[in-house]
Chains A and B, each alone.
Chain A
Amino acid sequence: MTTTYTVLSEGLEKRFGDVRALRGLDLAVAEGTVCGVLGPNGAGKTTAVRLLTTLLRPDAGSARIAGHDLVREAAAVRRRIGVTGQDTSIDGDLTGRQNLRLFARLHRVRGAAARAAELLDRFGLTEAADRPASGYSGGMRRRLDLAASLVRRPEVLFLDEPTTGLDPASRTPVWDAVRELTGEGTTVLLTTQYLEEADRLADDIALVDRGRVAHTGTPAGLKSLVGTHVEVVVADADALVTAAGVLDRLTGAEPSFDRERNAVGAVTGDPTLTLPRLVRTLDAAGVPLLDASLRPPTLDDVFLRLVGGPGTPSDHPAEDEERAA
């Protein structure tokens, strides 16, 4: 069986002045799957989405979206995509309902009013439907934005950091909506800075660093590749050596020390290492233990392991990466 790729880009390049935002981006998203494009600020995620949604023209390279050439058949691409991004927004001067009706009309959806009502209901916005969207909370705006990109069921949905800036409670409804959509066969390309988000939603992950895909794999594969971070804090400096010996035996990895905090850490891919086992072993060795933790890998760990650096750091996580660059 041959795989159909709904999003297929080859060597996409984009330069803004001196900044090379994309340096040959190759992406392949199979039909009906969710691809998580993961990377820190400034990696080129937003630029990639802006190119793939026809908002920007690539300087070089090509892409096909739902079977249509991104540049030559831009109008056909626009008919098949939905976009919810940091850069795209609903109209705050209109009510939620007016927004959805407008977008439905522009998408030539028959029964625009009924479709708007249906989406408002689905995203829990019926009560706020007739208030101007400028008064919505961040979570409501994002939900309305998501609804706006679904007025005509898109073949490909692009989500550019859909939960950045949202509190954890507001993330869940957005995640639920994305899962529901993929259940209906929509292909999703999602950018995120959060490994957790990619882990929950994506079938495949493309790790982007400095305008290129640095690594691809499944979330589980990526996590097991990086492993779990183990850290213990002990009461005095003398115990550090003993603790390090125990960690070495348990994980088989080279321990790293933080002498100021009397802490020692290591990374393990062993799923049988649980917190009780760790604590019991350390206690049996007579280590005066103050704190112990097992932490799943973060995006920083992934980058440290796979790219050999922290990626491109940023002081302004919420800021548009192009502007930050």
Chain B
Amino acid sequence: MTAYIVRRLFATLPVMAVVALFVFFLLRFAPGDPAAIIAGDDATAESIAAVRAKLGLDRPVVEQFLLWLWGLMQGDMGVSIFSNLPVTRLIAQRLEPTVALTLSTLFVALALAIPAGVLAAWKARKLVDRIVMGFAVLGFAMPVFVLAYILVYIFAVLPMRTDWWPLPGLPVQGYRPIAEGLWPFVESLILPSVALGITYMALIARITRASMLEVLQQDYIRTANAKGLATDRVLLLHALKNAAVPIVTVIGIGIALLISGVVITETVFNIPGLGRLTVDAVLKRDYPIVQGLILVFAAAKVLVNLLIDISYAFLDPRIRY
């Protein structure tokens, strides 16, 4: 197992190298020029060329790439074109809100979607099942930004503008670090987590239901029932542990969904995290920041996949590495 983990960690290096190559050249091929943005609207061709020379953007692309790669190997992601701050520091500053948002979404999604899926499978074709699956279809069909604005309307606009609206207001702007207290922190994450997590929840609830339905047909479930075991033990131990591998796989795949959702959610709810940093950097063509962020997202995804693969061995003793 340890050997497997070490091997997999080494295998991430070529993956990251390919990601680095693609992100660098795709950005250069994309239209837009940071030098033109810095030089301003009434800049002349000469002033743009001067800015470009100052930023090192006039050098051959391959040379720029190798310079960046050399820096990366020393843990240096370069410097922001606009603020002149090191990219690593910019990312570190914005990391906490995004990690908090992602983890709280993950927590909320798993805590709601897995029980809902188990319940739906247990009560298949009954009312509870139809309600759960109805929500799942709705949640899966709803784009993150649509839901986000609906939530803002329900929990911020209506409570403020009317006095008959029964629901309490919730913060819809910004992020409160956990250092400022637990409740403000949690409160600031509720709506963003729901908006970000709804698609994810729908996906997990559906796969949980499908996987459980298949497992509940198996002979060993009949054996468990013939032993007179309590229903919760049959469902949550005998069935869910067998149904877990597909569920965990989808949880892992869905992380990509969360990463792309973070960008939109942070924009709607004005959270100063990596998502907002990404949007701002892309709009300004701040190449080093975008490159650094994409590497960080890719590394997160690769590590999550590794964790998922390792978890298989704990869930199913027949899987050995």
The answer to whether A and B assemble together is no
